[in-house]
């Protein structure tokens, strides 16, 4: 009843970092971490996250309509999973290879995430009181790169040298 008279308050979203889930020769899986504060007495559903990942200013991945549920009157930790296949990096492969060959251990990946929702309170007579919100966050995280050593590293350096000549 309190929600019907006071209405819903919009939740707030904060980027908190990322966690490496898996790294292989084919790609990397990371979870982008967010903390969401829901000030309302009720939990919220009908909340989604859509995102795009950028490397060197070029979009390499996007995810749409990842469903979220927010706890009532408090914080919810959200994990937005992203699988970055190295083959998706072809548009920026030169920059990635240069970073690997120079011994850099990470590469900056930017996430542009949009959180939105249209939850509603239903009350007598089937009437509803909707709340709409949308919040956009853009953050950059340093994602681990595969390390190339030995003969494979020398072979890769030769290819890069020949292609630059």
Looking up tokens 């920026």 gives 92
Q: Domain segments of the chain: what residues?
A: 2-86+109-144
What CATH architecture does domain 2-86+109-144 belong to?
A: Sandwich (2.60)
pLDDT of residue 159: 42
Residue 147 and residue 121: Cα distance in Å, rounded?
A: 52
pLDDT tens, per residue, the chain with 165 residues: 444 445 678 899 999 998 989 888 788 888 999 999 999 887 888 899 999 999 888 888 899 999 998 888 999 999 999 988 877 777 787 777 777 778 888 888 899 999 998 876 555 565 666 678 899 999 998 888 766 655 444 444 444 444 444
How far apart are alpha carbons 135 and 126 in whole angstroms? 29
C-alpha radius of gyration, the chain, whole number: 21
Q: How far is CA 118 from CA 46, 78, 79, in A?
A: 6, 18, 20
The whole-number pLDDT of residue 93 equals: 77
CB atoms within 10 A of CB 151: 8
pLDDT given at position 164: 46
Residue 135 to residue 47: CA distance in whole angstroms: 11
Joined together, the tokens standing for residue 120 give: 């509603």
pTM summary value:
0.72
First to last CA, the chain: 73
* Rounded Cα gap, residues 109 and 142, in angstroms: 6
Three-class SS of the chain: CHHHHHCCCCCEEEEEEEEEEEECCCEEEEEEEEEEEECCCCCEEEEEEEEEEEECCEEEEEEEEEEEEECCCEEEEEEEEEEEEHHHHHHHHHHHHHHHHCCCCEEEEEEEEEEEECCEEEEHHHEEEECCEEEEEEEEEEEECCCCCHHHHHHHHHHHHHHHC
């Amino acid at each position: 009843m309190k929600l019907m008279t006071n209405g819903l308050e919009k939740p707030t979203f904060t980027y908190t970092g990322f966690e490496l889930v898996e790294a292989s020769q084919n790609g990397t899986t990371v979870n982008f971490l967010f903390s969401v504060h829901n000030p309302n007495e009720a939990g919220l559903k009908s909340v989604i996250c859509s995102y795009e990942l950028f490397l060197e200013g070029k979009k390499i991945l996007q995810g749409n309509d990842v469903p979220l549920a927010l706890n009532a009157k408090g914080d919810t930790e959200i994990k937005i999973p992203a699988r970055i296949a190295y083959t998706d990096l072809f548009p920026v492969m030169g920059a990635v290879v240069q970073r690997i060959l120079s011994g850099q251990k990470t590469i900056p990946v930017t996430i542009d995430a949009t959180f939105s929702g249209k939850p509603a309170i239903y009350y007598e007579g089937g009437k509803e009181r909707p709340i709409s919100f949308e919040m956009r966050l853009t953050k950059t995280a340093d994602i681990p790169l595969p390390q190339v050593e030995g003969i494979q590293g020398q072979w890769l350096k030769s290819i890069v040298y020949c292609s630059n000549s």
